[in-house]
Structure 1
Amino acid sequence: MEKVIINDQIVNRIDAKVDMNDRGYHFGDGIYEVIRVFNGVLFAAEEHLERLFKSAKKVNIDIPYSKDKIINLVNTLVELNDVETGIVYFQITRGSAIRTHEFPTSKTEPVFTAFTANVEVPEKELEKGVEVITTEDVRWLRCEIKSLNLLPNVLAKQEAAEKNCYEAIFHRDEIVTEASSSNVFIVKNGVVITHPVTSQILNGITRQVVLNLCEENSIRFTKKKYSVLDLMTADEVFITSTTADVMPVIKIDNTVIGTGAPGSVTRNLQSLFREKANKDTKLVV
């Protein structure tokens, strides 16, 4: 029977319960992370936990468990659910209290929950590339916090799905920020370009891995703002996320990008990313 985590206990999913007054339900008052699992091993777990604790600090949630405690719980959950290729989702809300917008005045314990899912690597899309749309970025201005408030992202992703597209790329005042559930990169004249780390984007873990790979392998890159026009006229475009890896984008709003096929820089980064994932999770190449 599938297991989940409720606070510091691993229980059967059918027995898991969360209070109706949990502030995560009322206000989206919480934070979350998603960690990739390759061959039963967590990938970049420490980086995800570091970001979780940073998000918690910014919204004044005091996580009642250490990073090591959470990692141990999550590793046990992956093993019990026999996850080979998939994800672990976990979130922490401010806790359960009578509904008021301000923080509860009485002592409220944060609520930690987690579950696993089998999610395969999207090999077909990684090989052929995907089509995406652009849409106005109407989210709040604290996107660096990985909070539960994702309704604008959901609506953008749904718009993309209704147009048979993989993702929706956000722009604010004609400046590309990120996408509904991924970071965005363009390649121009061999240089990888992505939005700098500001409050307008989430500093994705896969994003960080890719930039480190660029640095380690002498691939030129820069972090700077770029426009929708730059996006549409780029030589290559790709997006990154925990579940998308390094995903080539071959068409945006019906405009073909580059040659209409994944470019050489993107292909190189895909290969380097897979090598790192293989090494870090002890996969057999």
Structure 2
Amino acid sequence: MPSNDTNYAYVRGEILPLESASLHISDLSIQRGFGVFDYFKVEANHPLFLNDYLARFRESARLMTMQLPHTDEQLREIIHELITRNNMPLSGMKMILTGGYSENSYDLAEPSLLIMQQPLAMPGPETLGKGIKIITHEYIREIPRAKTINYTMGIRLIGEVKSKAASDVLYHLNGAVSEFPRCNLFVVHQDGTVMTPDSGILLGVTRKNVLALAEKKYPVREGSVTLYDIMQAKEVFLTSTTKRILPIVQVDDTVIGEGVPGPVTQTLLQDLILLEEVDRKLQKQL
């Protein structure tokens, strides 16, 4: 495996050094913030659960009336070429599809496809051992099933999150919670049922894997989850590609359960780590 200090990216049909990778200012991602993306983890130079991420990327494009310019097999070839060139054993890879170089800054053009790889740091033992605090905010994303590049609200709230010594913000509407800017939510009710919202959310790949793992050990439900449910829960945690499972021990001013990560959260995290190991082994056999 080659090793060098150059980071390569794919931009509109070319693999280029990252410092040379750019889009024209007419691109609709710049002019109107129009585009979709997806993001997956690379461990030991193997992309984890890649089929799921490619399927969601293609669905996001469809929902935004765009079409990917490559087949899944062609995308895999580009991804593996970048992994070989960049040699970042633990990293994240982002695929972005934009509205293209629009002549009038409004109409869709030939889509721009970008793929880039960046170093990734996972939550450490201290964070996992203590859990995190989150705050809440009334908001719901437009077209939540599409993973769009519009993160305006989440970015605007960064200052408030930090000022309240929190780690993230949970969206809700009229008391019904949906998701975080970049994560899904799970609660463990007092009767042991594991539950996650089923509407107004992006269908996370980690969410999908955690649901499948939880069904093997606990009662599981997808449905409406309210702020009241969270405040009364035994455990609360979030899921995402970059965080796996992260325990939540405080929501606004309310301490969840005993204020420490609970056994269900910890068990599912270990199960998820094992599932990732299985996927890596399967990738090596292909």
**TMscore range, shorter length:** over 0.9
Give me the whole-angstrom Cα distance separating, in 2, the residues matched to 1:15 and 1:22: 17
Question: How far off its partner does 1:8 sit?
Answer: 2.7
Other structure's SS at 2:203 match: coil
Equivalent of 1:15, from 12, 15, 20?
Answer: 20
Q: Does 1:163 align with 2:164?
A: yes
In structure 1, C-alpha distance between the alignment counterparts of 2:202 and 2:74, rounded to whole Å: 25
1:193-218 CA-to-partner distances (Å, cap 9, x unmatched) read 1111x3x1101111001001122x23
| Residue matched to 1:150 | 151
What does residue range 95-244 of structure 1 map to in structure 2 within 5 Å? 95-101=100-106, 103-104=107-108, 108-124=109-125, 125-140=127-142, 142-188=143-189, 189-196=191-198, 198=199, 200-215=200-215, 217-244=216-243
Q: CA deviation at 1:181?
A: 1.1
**Matches of 1:5 and 1:262, distance apart in 2:** 40
CA contact (8 A) 1:138 1:152 kept: no
Quickly say closer, same or farther: Cα 1:213–1:148, change in 2 above 3 A: same
Task: Find out whether 1:66 has 2:66 as its counterpart.
Answer: no
Match of residue 54, structure 2, among 49, 52, 71: 49
Q: Deviations over 1:90-131 (max 9, x none)?
A: 101121012343x24xxx321111211111221232232111
Aligned counterparts of 1:223 and 1:53: Cα–Cα separation in 2: 24
1:5 counterpart SS class = strand
Aligned partner of 2:3 in structure 1 is none
Q: CA deviation at 1:233?
A: 1.3
The one-letter amino acid of 2:90's match is T
Distance (whole Å) between structure 1 residues aligned to residue 146 and residue 155 of structure 2: 17
Structure 1 residue 164, shift from structure 2 partner: 2.4
Counterpart among 2, 8, 14 of residue 7 in structure 2: 2
Q: What is the SS of the residue equivalent to 1:230?
A: helix
Number of the residue aligned with 1:258? 257
**Which amino acid in the other structure matches residue 280 of structure 1?**
D
- Give the TM-score normalised by structure 1: 0.92
Give the equivalent residue in structure 2 for 1:27: 32
Q: One-letter code of the match for 2:176?
A: I
> What's the offset of the Cα at 1:138?
4.6
Q: Distance in 2 between matches of 1:17 and 1:187?
A: 45
| 1:40-77 deviations in Å (ceiling 9; x for gaps) | 11111110100111111111112110111112211221
CA deviation after TM superposition for structure 1 residue 158, in Å: 3.9
In structure 1, distance between residues paired with 2:171 and 2:265: 21
Q: 1:100 to 1:17 in 2, by over 3 A?
A: closer
Q: Which runs of 4+ in 1 moved over 6 A?
A: none
Q: Is the 8 A contact 1:184 1:237 kept in 2?
A: yes
Q: Indicate conservation of the 8 Å contact 2:145/2:202, yes or no.
A: yes
Contact map agreement 1:157 1:180 (CA 8 A) in 2: no
Alpha-carbon displacement from aligned partner over 1:205-242 (angstroms, at most 9, x marks no partner): 11001001122x23211001021111111100000011
CA distance, structure 2, for counterparts of residue 159 and residue 232 of structure 1: 21
Q: CA contact under 8 A between 1:24 and 1:30: conserved in structure 2? A: yes
Provide the aligned length of Structure 1 versus Structure 2: 275
> Where does the alignment leave 5 or more consecutive residues of structure 1 unmatched?
none
Structure 2: which 5+ runs fail to align?
Answer: 1-5
